[in-house]
Structure formats: structure tokens, C-alpha cells
Chain A
């Protein structure tokens, strides 16, 4: 009996006795490993003459192929029949990975920036501690305007500037409008300005610090339909299709005409009532969403832009407000937003 036949016999006996994948692994190494039987046979070839070599070589290769095939078959067979005795509760939670959170406002800012980036608006930022000039005068809000008084704006204890007036905490992102016009030098302008803003109010619907985002578009031939287009686009992207939008006239010093987009309330879903009680958040199902309008010619002039050649629109949204109006967010107290309670934060 040749060595090849003996080896095959031995292999068949071994593989017959293999009861699991581990013992099959040992058998595989015994025959096909670096120091296995097949290599042993091939090494013995060296002492043979050329004809014998050829013959044995071909036989060993055949044997190798047979062994590989049989091991493969056995592996498939064992893998199919293998069962474990021990019970594993596959419903148990896995290894715990850290779960942190981003602030709601951050989520909103990132989403809003992305939405406007898609239609070519760049995000800018301007001072929060700002001159009266950029917060008011340049926005067609002359001295004596109610928004400029102590009850509507925080003033800073600092020297008044001869040209720019007092320092204030900017009460709106609109202070970035004229700064952007001056930075760009001339249209086209497509900007959003996202920033902290401040006003002296502190109750369920107001925090003394809040966030706004301002949109500004100045170019040749810009009209109200473009403002409507941008607001419509944003509302559909941000709130989804099940919320309704309406545009109504309003009054802002720095826009003319001035428009106020309203959206159906996310807390009462436009019904005006929660469990039969008047909704705490909205007015008859509608929420004021933003202030907007066509940029007032005096504002364009303050930004060095000729209102006879160019026109534009602007809007300002409250970020906390739009976040509260998003479908699944039924916050009934704005102050929660900056309470930084871990039980609130960790949810986002």
C-alpha cells in the first residue's frame, strides 16, 4: 500500500470521528498544515527519480484535493447540526456605549444652516454686543422708537460713541443686515446670520437670551414672490408637509412691505385647544413664526446700496420658537430651554 493510500485511509477514519468544528480544525491542520501529512509526502518526493516524482506528485495533489473537498463537506454538515447546550438571553442589552446629547438649539442651527446652504445662502455672524447704530438707526428705527427704550433693549454701561451711539445687547439678528451690506460692498447678497439675541423679558414664552436667524437677499429684481418662495421652501424643509403656513401683513421699521408668516401650532395642531382647554402656546391655532418683508429703502441706503437699482427681502426667525413648533416638540415653557437640566438635555 502506498503512503498516499494509507494517508487517505487514516484521514477518512479521522474525519469520521470528528464531532465538532474544533476537532475538524485539528484534523485540517494535521493534514493540510505547514507541517502536515501532505507536505510530509511532498517532501519525500526529493529522493525519487523524475518519473516517480511526476507520478507521486500527481497522486499527492489528487489526495490534497480530496481532503480539501471532504473537510469542506464535513464542515458544512457540522455547522448545520451544531447546537449549543447553554441558554443565551438574546434579549439582554448589549455592551453600553456612551450616549451624549447636543443642545436643541444646536440641532436647529445645523439643520437651518444646511437648508439655506442648499439654496446658496452663506452663514455669517456679527457682534452680540452691538452699537445702537447697527441695531436701530441703520434699520430705520430713529431715536425715540419704542424698541429702543429701556423696556425692550438691554443697554451696556459704557461710553457712548459719537458716531454709533450707545452699546446694546442686540435685540435681533437684523443688526447683521447693514453690516453684511457694508462687508459685501455690493449685491448680490445671500446671507443667513444666526446669533444669540437679548431682550429684557423672562416668562413662560420669553427668555432674556434667545436665538434668531436672519435671512437677507439683495439683488436686482427681487420681489415679494421671492420672499414667499424662500419662506415656503424653509417651512416645507424644516416643519414637513403637515403644517400650514399663511402670510399676513405686519409692521417692522426696517421692511416695507412687512409680512408675518404664521404656522399652525404644533402643540394643539391648529385646533386652538389642548384637552378642551385653551392652548397655552398659540392664538386660535396659529403661531407667529417670524418677521419678514422687503428691505426698506433707507436700510439699503445705510448699507451703501442704491434702492433704485436693487431690492431685497429679509426675515428673522426665533430659533427656540421654530424648534418648539416642530412636530414632536411640545415644550410648554421656554425657560426649560436654558435650564440645562440633564433630564431635558439627554433627550436630544
Chain B
């Protein structure tokens, strides 16, 4: 969270000669980051980032403490100005409020009833400081609640005593379906489980720690008020605030566990302001429900431990002195030091490592040397090493051959699953997605890749994409199986795609693969096949069927190939297999034949090699309609063969077609 405070306000608690810009620079390095400094009239606004563990520093007092600890490290003067507030002397009244918390939802509740307040405009300095913090001034009483929150660091609230009527404040969790109207006149139906206050009759009169309700809020005519501080279960506050989208500043404080002890300081400070600005006639006793006071843990720590974690020896006298402006109590034993954090750091500082952090950050991370960790050999599992190496190899190869790598979300929409004619229920589903577009974990890469073509149609004439990514296969009672696949899509031609695939397999030294026509539903019947190496199915390729093409809204034909990446690695060879150079003659003969479903190239190849021991390789020369021209290479490993011999071999092959 960020808070905005002003420089002059800070100086009411801090005696310093540092400029706001110096404070920004120095505090940001060792404490809360001051993200911006903006000049505003005769003051400066500091925009401060507060980390979730340091809600104690989300205030003028908190920032003053940090500055008092840090600025001297940069040789700047910075001393805390003690402003010890005491309860104002006012005539006592006998008004009471009965506070009930049977479900133990609160850490501390403080309430005071004041009679005869005058509600009017706040003084200028308060209006300006609240404005700087992004808070609109309403009236003196409401403004005091916000002003004290920013100054002390604990949210506060004020009720109209007479509008509550019963004099009872009952903390309870809401039932599902209960309704309330917040003070900004918005109506909410509760999910159940939110902490609410009712007046004892079942009527909800507050959504504590988040926002007041319109039926109990002070009005201009209010005379009797309850000044109120509630420190409530932070988890329930955050949940209610997030689910209803009521993100008030008070809620962001209260969900971070502000210190209940600080609640009392806030109350006393507020009473002083109330006395000064609203001139009440009398006040009640202070009602304080606080069953388990905060008890900070004492931490025993050795100087050696501090040195071993920071890496630099800092003299004990020095580092213990760092802790004092932050409110820590330090006492020395013979060989160790006992550090007791202040109440507002009780939940944040509990172990020795927490003390190391305080010492290290005040000492200054920028004062530490940078040392590389000592070198040691760690063995990387072979299959992991191979996986990354092959991924890199394949990616670079495809890129060098003109393909573009895409990266799609692992989550896809139900619509895309249906487009791909896949089963929705076999997909891993996100319970709390933020968009229908990203609701299911994909089991296949191709639907996303088809969308890549679709979304780029018209931007470039030729589109060639690939992606290597995990797919997620649902399992019962276990995490899904995460498997890498390689998907390729092009809009050029089947022959172009096949060329890419052939080249890839050659690059991976997979020389003995077989192509067998297949019958996959999303590919065109005539133009699809599967790759096998031995009995291992490596992948498939083909043309997207017209029916599927139209489902994706694709204008042009799309050709695609998909591989199981682990299988690809399994059949690949990391290095070429050397064949001795053949010194004997090589005879090349061409052959043209008519291609039919009964005589595919794959079959012809198989027959040819089976028939002729002299055949070394077959190359495709041209394809014209169904006429395919091939070039046959014949040679022997131990003698020169004659052209006659080769012609005879080819004739023999032809006979076997």
C-alpha cells in the first residue's frame, strides 16, 4: 500500500535539517520507499510505499521513527520530537455503551461517548493535509478520524450515539443474505461470514474496520457521538473488503494487523483534537475491551550470528544503537544480547533473522561488498539437461528456417475447446478465473496456434509459426501431467510444411522414420500422416480440414504438424552417425510414375530399398499433378558399377511396384 504524507506534518514529529528530497533518497535505501516527492504550495507531498509487514510505519510517527534511525547513517540530523499526549480534562458524563464479542472476532475495542460536540468545517491545515493524502475533507469530526489514522497509524471511527439508540454494540459474523447500506449510500447483500456490528436487536449498524453504515454515521446535527477504535480479525476484514470491493484506506490498514496498543495512542490523540475542534461538553469513561494484550517476544542473539548472516562484522555498540530509535529495548548478557521489539513490531520481529534484517538495513545494503557465492559443482539431471538443449536446438533450427516462435497462454476458453472438437470435461478447470478467455488449461497446442494464424491473417501473406510448450493432462487425485509438445502451423502449402518437418528430423539425425497416412478428425482426409520411428509414434502432420478451418474463422488453408517433445528427444541422435566416403562410381537414374493411394512414396521407398542392395538414396525431383519424378542413386561399397547394372536394378524395382 502507499500513503501520502506531507513534509511539514512529518517535521512536527521529527527534528531534522534534511530536505524532502534527501529524505526520499536516504529512506528509500534502508526503509520505506518514497516513490515520489511533489511540491504543494509551501509544503511537499511524500508518496510512501509501505510493505505489508510494516503497517506500523504507515503513519507520520512511523516514518519519523524510520527517519530518526536512518538519516544519521547519512550524516544528517534527525531526532524524534516526543509528543506525549494525555487524556484531556473534560467533565465526565454517565453515558455507557455495552460491547459484546462472543465469537472472539476482535483484538481490542475502545469507545468513548462525547456529548455536545459542534460539527463544522475543519481548520485549513487539516483540510490540506488530508487532501494531500487523497482524502476529501467532510467535517471536523470525520476529518479527525482520518487525520489520526495517518498521524498515528491506527484507523478510528465515529458513530452518532443517538442513532444507535440501544447503547449496544454486538460484534458478530453476518448471515448470508443480510443487507446493509454503507455511508456512501451503496447497498450490499452479505455473503455470510463478514464481521458486522449490530445494535443488539439484529439491526446491522456497522461494517467495522472497512466502512461505516448510513444508519449510524454522524450527521451535521449530531450532538452525542461515540469515538470508536476497533481492532478486528485481519483475515476476515481482508476477505470482506476484497469480495465486496470496498477498498477503503481503513480496510487496507486493518487487514495488515495494526498494533492494538497503538489504538490507545490514537484514541488519546483523537480526544485532544476533539476537545480542541468540536468543543464537547462532557465525555464518558473509556470503554476498553482488550483481553489478550500484545506481548512482544524477547530475542536472544549473538554478535557472531549477526556477522555470519550479514557477512561483515559490525561492532555490537554500533548495531545495538541502530535499534534504539526504532523502539527496540536492548540488554547485554555475557556472550549474547537480548532484543525486545516494541509492541508495534511484535508480529514482525520474532526470530534472530528478523533482528539481522533491522541491523543490515540500517547499516545499509549499499555499504556491503558484493561477493560471488563460492563455486561448487552441482550435477544437472541428464533428462533436464537434454530437454533444455533440444528445446534450444529445435527453436533455433525452426527460426533459422523462417518460422516465428509464438507464446500462448496455457489457459484457453471453453469456446476454443469446442472449436477444436475436444471434450471440455477432460480439461483442468480454473475455479476463480478472471476471464472466460482463460478458463481451462490446454491439453493441445494447436488450437492456440490456429488462432495465431487467424489473428495475423492479412498482416503478412505467408505466416509460419511454432510453439514449444507444456500441455496439462488431468489426473484423478493428483497434479496434472505436464508434457511438452512442439506445434507447427503454416499457411503456405503442405509441401512447405513437410519440407520443414523433414529438415527438422534430419537436423535431429532421425534418419529412419516412416510416414504412414492417418485418419485424424481435424485434418483433411487425403492429406495427413503420422511419423513413426520403429514402433514409436513421434508426431503427425496434415492440412486442417475445411470444417475445422471454418470453425476458427480462418480464411486460408492451414497446414500443421505436432510432435510429442519427449518422444522426439528419445528418437533423436545428438550427433550424426559417420558413414565412410564411398570412392566408387555412383549412377543416377530418374523415374517418373503416377502417384495413387495404392502407391505412395513411402511404400515405393520401402519396396525399392528392399529390392535393390545397390540403391543408396532416392530424391524427389518434381511433382506435376499426379506425376512424380524421382532420382535414384546406385553404387556399391566395393567396386565400380556400370550404368547397365543400375538400369537393371531400377527395372527390377519397377517390377515390384
Contact = CB atoms under 8 A, between A and B. Distances in A.
Nearest to A167: B479
A136 to B, nearest CB: 14
A223 B429 contact: no
B128 interface: no
Nearest to B478: A161
B255 interface: yes
Contacts, number: 239
Nearest to A339: B455
Contact of A129 (B380, B384, B441, B460): B441
Contact of A256 (B354, B376, B429): B354
Interface string B373-415: 1111111110010011000100110111111111111110000
A224 B431 contact: no
A209 B311 contact: no
A217 interface: yes
A101 interface: yes
B372 interface: yes
Given A98-B402, A106-B405, A259-B365, A155 B430 contact: yes
Interface residues of A, number: 87
B374 A219 contact: yes
Contact of A221 (B308, B353, B377, B432): B308
B28 interface: yes
11 contacts: A98-B402, A110-B392, A127-B482, A128-B482, A154-B432, A196-B470, A200-B432, A219-B376, A233-B372, A284-B35, A342-B404
B446 to A, nearest CB: 14
A153 to B, nearest CB: 8
Interface centre among B387, B399, B429, B455 (most CB of A within 10 A): B399
Interface in A199-253: 200-202, 207-209, 217, 219, 221-226, 228-233, 246-251
Contact of B430 (A156, A222, A246, A250): A156
Contact of B399 (A102, A122, A338): A102
A219 B357 CA distance: 20
Interface of B: 24, 28-31, 33, 35-36, 51-54, 235, 238-239, 242, 255, 308-312, 351, 353-354, 356-357, 360-361, 365-366, 368-381, 384, 387-388, 392, 395-396, 398-411, 428-435, 438, 441, 452, 455-456, 459-460, 463-465, 470, 472, 476-477, 479-480, 482
Contact of B375 (A98, A106, A120, A122): A120
B260 to A, nearest CB: 18
A223 B308 contact: yes
A257 B354 CA distance: 6
B474 to A, nearest CB: 8
Contacts of A102: 395-396, 399, 405
Contacts of A130: 479
A341 B395 CA distance: 18
Given A157-B431, A189-B378, A98 B401 contact: yes
Nearest to A297: B353
Interface stretch (A28-36, A39-47, A142-150): A142-150
Contact of B310 (A129, A224, A345): A224
Q: Considering residues B33, B353, B376, B463, which has the most beta carbons from chain A within 10 angstroms of its beta carbon?
A: B353
A346 B404 contact: yes
B165 to A, nearest CB: 36
Among B373, B404, B435, B455, max chain A CB count under 10 A is at: B373
A190 B463 CA distance: 41
A221 B433 CA distance: 44
Nearest to B392: A110
Contact of A342 (B31, B239, B463): B463
Contact of A226 (B371, B400, B433, B459): B371
Nearest to B256: A146
B351 A297 contact: yes
A184 B276 CA distance: 66
A161 B475 CA distance: 13
Given A110-B392, A229-B371, A297-B351, A100 B463 contact: no
A228 B370 contact: yes
A119 interface: yes
Given A156-B431, A256-B357, A345 B404 contact: yes
A342 B460 contact: yes
A113 interface: yes
A219 B373 contact: yes
Contact of A100 (B309, B353, B378, B464): B464
Contacts of B366: 246-247
A343 interface: yes
A113 B312 CA distance: 30
B34 to A, nearest CB: 8
Contacts of B24: 284
Given A225-B311, A225-B371, A338-B409, A127 B357 contact: no
Given A251-B51, A296-B353, A129 B480 contact: yes
Contacts of A189: 378
Contact of A232 (B370, B403, B410): B370
Contacts of A311: 308-309
A92 interface: no
Nearest to B33: A248
A229 to B, nearest CB: 4
A146 B238 contact: yes
A148 B380 CA distance: 32
Interface string A241-284: 00000111111000011110000000000000000000000011
Question: Per DSSP, are chain A's interface residues mostly helix, strand or loop, or mixed?
Answer: mixed
A199 to B, nearest CB: 10
A113 B380 CA distance: 13
Given A102-B405, A209-B409, A228 B434 contact: no
Nearest to A259: B365
A119 B378 CA distance: 11
Contacts of B371: 225-226, 228-229
Leading 5 A-B pairs by shortest Cβ distance: A98-B402, A257-B357, A223-B311, A225-B311, A247-B365
A1 interface: no
Nearest to A272: B36
A154 B370 contact: no
Nearest to B468: A106
A208 B434 CA distance: 9
Contacts of A101: 399, 404-405
A87 interface: no
Contacts of A64: none
Contacts of A99: 402
A226 B311 contact: yes
Given A144-B235, A225-B310, A230-B372, 8 more contacts: A123-B384, A150-B432, A156-B430, A224-B365, A230-B373, A231-B370, A256-B357, A340-B456
B375 A119 contact: yes
A149 B239 contact: yes
B482 A209 contact: no
A202 B399 contact: no
A308 to B, nearest CB: 10
Contacts of A191: 378
Nearest to A189: B378
A60 interface: no
B433 A98 contact: no
Nearest to B460: A342
Contacts of A345: 404-406
A200 B374 CA distance: 39
A11 interface: no
Nearest to A345: B404
A251 B53 CA distance: 6
A13 B419 CA distance: 83
